[in-house]
Structure 1
Amino acid sequence: MKSRIVISLLLTFSLLFTVFGSVSASTVTYHPSLAHKTGKMAYEHTKYLTYTIGPRVAGTEKEAEARDYIISQFERMGYTANIQPFSYTRGGVTYQSSNVIAYKKGKSSKEIIVGAHYDSVSAGKGSDDNASGVAVMLEAAEVLKKIPTPYSIKFVAFGAEEVGLRGSNFYAGQMTEEEIENTAGMINLDSLAVGDYMYVYGSPGDKGFIRDQVLNIAQKKKLDIGTNPGLNPEYPAGTTGDWSDHAPFHRLGIPYAYFEATNWTLGNMDGYTQTEKHGGVWHTSNDTLEFIEREFPGRVEEHLTTFSQALTEVLKFFGKTSTAK
């Protein structure tokens, strides 16, 4: 009987390992003071995802390692981290990935989703795309842990974005009509570290109130954040394309804001050419902290600090000066 129990437990563990991957035995800890210095904790998360984990290709052990790091960080902060596993087929092969969700209760049961994808392509180390976005999300989650917020917040780390927005599509596809109605907005964080300029975009028309609130905060706090100037008529001023994790929520009619660093004045003026000096950095071997910090000294720290402050502020006051209900 004991041997059967042992075999059963081993089979169960094997199945869990196959579905979820390994779970880190220890949690990486940071000095508590970093959470009180804007951008500092985000920089540490960016470094860890860059140097300790490296490229986090969707469906691989490295993506699972990044997921486990995010889980451990949410739990270190005092959140309960829930895993939303999903599978997808690409090129006739089925892959496993997952989203990580941490919930912060606010004064209202209405929710805002804050998301960033944690996978990367194989080129480079994914420092900009998208360790930077995950890092800013994690910093905001830690800063806001004990601060009352007007809305409840779901922090979501999406898997498998680079292979077709798989994680965000799956998350949005599982939302009920009630959940959609209860979601006041979605904020997407993608590629924040290297672009020449810092931007926030938003939904077209009167649903762009989250973007507008961020721009108001940036003006009051003297943060160097602007928006798409609309030089390319295919992307009207203040908006962007549906190529990142905001897109599935936009299709559901949920208002979005999207933080990104790039340069809309270059190339086809479509936001894909990030820098005047080196063109696009994402999806290239140059997407490493070493390259970015050598070629653009101080930029990573400046961007992480600015975006972290903007995100934290908008979550602290979300809806108070907007048309959100």
Structure 2
Amino acid sequence: MKPTRGKFFLLVGFCFVALFLSGTFKEKVDLNKTSVTADINLVNQHLHALVETPKFRNHQNPEQLNSIADYIFKNFNQYADETTFQEYKVNGRTYKNVICSFGTEHQKRIIIGAHYDVCGDQKGADDNATGVTALLELARMLKGQKTNYRIDLVAYTLEEPPFFRTENMGSYIHAKYLKDNNIEVYGMASVEMIGYFKDEKNSQSFPVGALSWIYGDKGNFITLVKRFSGSGKFVRNFIAHFKESKQIKTETFPAPKFVKGVDFSDHLNYWKFDYPALMITDTSFFRNKNYHEPTDTLETLDLQRMTKVIDAIFISLIHLK
């Protein structure tokens, strides 16, 4: 996709505005309020369980997908107030979202989601075993925590092609369920590839090359992608807490729809139903050239920085008001 000149200048302009505004919303986060942190050994254990499977976890292997769903359920169920499957059929086959909940005494909820399927015959370590591992660790970390909202951790199936952008996506099924049942949602965050980092120059690319003037050319940060306008209170507050936690270098990217990649994950279905949502990402194929390739393996991941991303999500969740 090639933006027009007008769109190019609009994109550069709103990025400068966003950088200016990002410093205007500050709320101090007392990190001494929690001693709970992500465990790198458990992160490594979960990644191996998700990636090193007998068959690839794609739509053509529903038994393998459901085996992964069972693994997620078992781990969620150790910590959550309640854990459920959300089952549905596609072409006569049963697929499952896995949902666990904390703070069920609250009515309004926050959704943190990640997909566990892969695209084709590849291991999908960064895409998206890292996101699901974040959910598994967050479940452990949230046990016994006092929260201001109900928090639902949702592991989705069928995010990848050929079901991407269809009503068979697990996140579409879940978002539609929320809307159909008039469930009050404060906001949603999609955890989409959070384990690939590079400190070398020219290791980061962008949908528009000039953005490197703003964000730099090193792939050493996590990105919070939000709508260009009307992102909502949840998104503003989550970003403020995530950055204030100072766990990892973080950039915010407010993007219009014409920018390639900004809706390449499960948050797009919550946008469809008018829920505030954002994506937490290492920028996917703009940095990680192993995207949708057999080379997307565990050896390419930076577990130290990945655990810091999980810590930042956790800190944000328990401080949101």
TM-score scaled by length of structure 1: 0.71
Name the amino acid aligned to 2:309. Answer: F
Map of 1:167 onto structure 2: 170
Map of 1:259 onto structure 2: 280
**Structure 1 residue 48: deviation in Å?**
1.6
Q: Secondary structure at the match of 1:38?
A: coil
Match of 1:224 among 249, 252, 257: 249
Map of 1:20 onto structure 2: none
Q: In structure 1, how many angstroms separate the alpha carbons of the residues matched to 2:111 and 2:239?
A: 19
Are 2:305 and 1:281 aligned? no
**Structure 1 residue 317: deviation in Å?**
1.6
Does the CA-based 8 Å contact 2:226-2:254 persist in structure 1?
no
Among the aligned pairs, what percent are the same residue? 26
Is 96-105 or 205-214 further displaced after alignment? 205-214
Map of 2:304 onto structure 1: 301
Q: Secondary structure at the match of 2:296?
A: coil
Give every structure 1 segment of 4 or more consecutive aligned residues whose post-TM-superposition deviation is greater than 6 Å.
none
**Structure 1 residue 74: deviation in Å?**
0.9
Structure-2 change in CA distance of 1:226 and 1:147 (3 Å): same
Match of 1:86 among 81, 85, 88: 88
After the TM superposition, which residues 92-241 of structure 1 pair with which residues of structure 2 at under 5 Å, given as runs? 94-105=92-103, 108-163=106-161, 164-165=163-164, 166-180=169-183, 182-195=184-197, 196=219, 197-222=221-246, 223-228=248-253, 234-235=258-259, 241=262
Is 188-197 or 241-250 further displaced after alignment? 188-197
State which structure, 1 or 2, has the greater radius of gyration over its C-alpha atoms: 1
Q: Secondary structure at the match of 1:207?
A: coil
**Structure 1 residue 159: deviation in Å?**
0.8
Q: In structure 2, how many angstroms separate the alpha carbons of the residues matched to 1:207 and 1:147?
A: 27
Q: In structure 2, how many angstroms separate the alpha carbons of the residues matched to 1:184 and 1:85?
A: 24
Does the CA-based 8 Å contact 1:208-1:257 persist in structure 2?
no
Map of 1:244 onto structure 2: 265
Q: Please, which runs of 5 or more residues in structure 1 have no aligned partner?
A: 1-34, 263-270, 294-298, 321-325
Does the CA-based 8 Å contact 1:53-1:66 persist in structure 2?
no
**Structure 1 residue 203: deviation in Å?**
3.1
Q: In structure 1, how many angstroms separate the alpha carbons of the residues matched to 2:155 and 2:127?
A: 13
After the TM superposition, which residues 24-103 of structure 1 pair with which residues of structure 2 at under 5 Å, given as runs? 36-40=36-40, 41-52=42-53, 55-60=56-61, 61-89=63-91, 94-103=92-101
Q: In structure 2, how many angstroms separate the alpha carbons of the residues matched to 1:47 and 1:123?
A: 17
Please give the per-residue CA displacement for 1:212-242, whole angstroms capped at 9, x wherever unaligned. Answer: 3343234433221112376x99339xxx632
Does the CA-based 8 Å contact 2:76-2:83 persist in structure 1?
yes
Query: What is the aligned length?
Result: 257
Q: Secondary structure at the match of 2:74?
A: helix
Q: In structure 1, how many angstroms separate the alpha carbons of the residues matched to 2:57 and 2:140?
A: 23
Does the CA-based 8 Å contact 1:85-1:96 persist in structure 2?
yes
Q: Secondary structure at the match of 1:234?
A: coil
Map of 2:202 onto structure 1: none
Is 196-205 or 207-216 further displaced after alignment? 207-216
**Structure 1 residue 257: deviation in Å?**
1.8
Does the CA-based 8 Å contact 2:80-2:139 persist in structure 1?
no
Name the amino acid aligned to 1:44. Answer: Q
Q: In structure 1, how many angstroms separate the alpha carbons of the residues matched to 2:223 and 2:39?
A: 17
Map of 1:16 onto structure 2: none
Structure-2 change in CA distance of 1:131 and 1:233 (3 Å): closer
**Structure 1 residue 54: deviation in Å?**
6.2
Q: In structure 2, how many angstroms separate the alpha carbons of the residues matched to 1:144 and 1:167?
A: 24
Please give the per-residue CA displacement for 1:167-218, whole angstroms capped at 9, x wherever unaligned. Answer: 11112222345534x1111111111112523111123324244443343234
Structure-2 change in CA distance of 1:210 and 1:53 (3 Å): farther
Match of 2:285 among 247, 272, 281: 272
Q: In structure 2, how many angstroms separate the alpha carbons of the residues matched to 1:251 and 1:66?
A: 28
Structure-2 change in CA distance of 1:153 and 1:37 (3 Å): closer
Q: Secondary structure at the match of 1:201?
A: strand
Greater relative CO, 1 or 2 (CA 8 Å, sep 6+): 2
Q: Secondary structure at the match of 2:52?
A: helix
Structure-2 change in CA distance of 1:174 and 1:37 (3 Å): closer
TM-score scaled by length of structure 2: 0.72
